[in-house]
Amino acid sequence: MAGCILKKDLGVQIEMMTRSLIVVALAGFAALSGCSNSGSRGAANNGEKLFVSLQCASCHGDKGQGGSAPALVGSSGPVSSPDAMAAAMWSHATKMWQAVDAAKIPRPQIAPEQAADLYAYLSGGSGGKDPVGTATSGQQVFEAKLCASCHDQASDASAPNLAAKAGQFSAFSMVSALWQHGSGMLARMVSQNKEWQVLSAQEMADVLAYLNTKK
């Protein structure tokens, strides 16, 4: 009789432990997923405020519908996915800088989180799917677009070696890097008689894949 009770109690304990482990595992997975998703989605209400405060609307229209600069909204437009937004900004950076300078608008310093917020606002929460990038193609793009001519040269101390940040790159960190360091990059390229490069969404995805595995 005592043996039966002990077995029953042991069985209940094992079942409870199993359930607890499952709950903990699911909670951990949910937390990781939530952290990743919240970091990539951004907040549309913050993005709307940024769009106004950074004076993006003065060129792109009060809702991003277009004005003296192209429209930003739309499922096939520059914000169809995070990589598409980053690629569009990099490709048109020199024109944007000329426009803001001509309008006497201070060039903004955009953090990755703010870039995510702007994307959330302009995309309308559609969350477009990024192209699938590959590190092999990314290395080819990195070299063809002249990125390696500065960032892989030990002699150029003004351009950091990006291998130290492998695993930390995203479309939004690329947007941030553009607005925080782009003018310096452009100055170096001009001094070396190099042209500013343009990127497609696919090329941006490939470069990100490469940078995140670069050692």
Question: Residues 16-45: pLDDT tens digits?
Answer: 444 433 333 333 333 333 333 334 579 999
**Sign of the dihedral defined by the CA atoms of residues 211, 213, 214, 215, in that order:** positive
Backbone Cα Rg of the chain: 23
Asked if residue 121 has pLDDT above 70, the reply is: yes
Tracing tokens 């069985």 back to the chain, one arrives at 11
Q: How far apart are CA 121 and CA 49, in angstroms?
A: 9
pLDDT digits (tens, 9 = 90+) for 41-86: 799 999 999 999 999 988 898 878 888 888 887 666 788 899 999 9
pLDDT at 61: 86
Q: Which residues contact 61 (CB under 8 A, 6 or more apart)?
A: 67, 71
Binned at pLDDT 50, 70 and 90, residue 176 comes out as very high
User: Quick one: tokens of 115?
Assistant: 């870039």
Helix, strand, coil content of the chain in percent (nearest 5): 65, 0, 35
Q: What is the pLDDT of residue 76?
A: 64
**Overall average pLDDT of the 181-204 stretch:** 92
Residues in the chain, overall count: 215
The dihedral built from the CA positions of residue 168, 178, 202 and 46, taken in this order, carries a sign that is positive
Quick one: which of 123, 137, 114 has its CA closest to 200?
137
**Residue corresponding to tokens 């590190």:** 135
CB-based contact 120:146 (threshold 8 Å):
no
Alpha helices in 42-81 (DSSP H): 44-53, 57-60
Q: What average pLDDT is seen over the chain?
A: 80
Residue 136, pLDDT score: 96
SS3 117: helix
pTM: 0.76
Provide the pLDDT for residue 151. 86
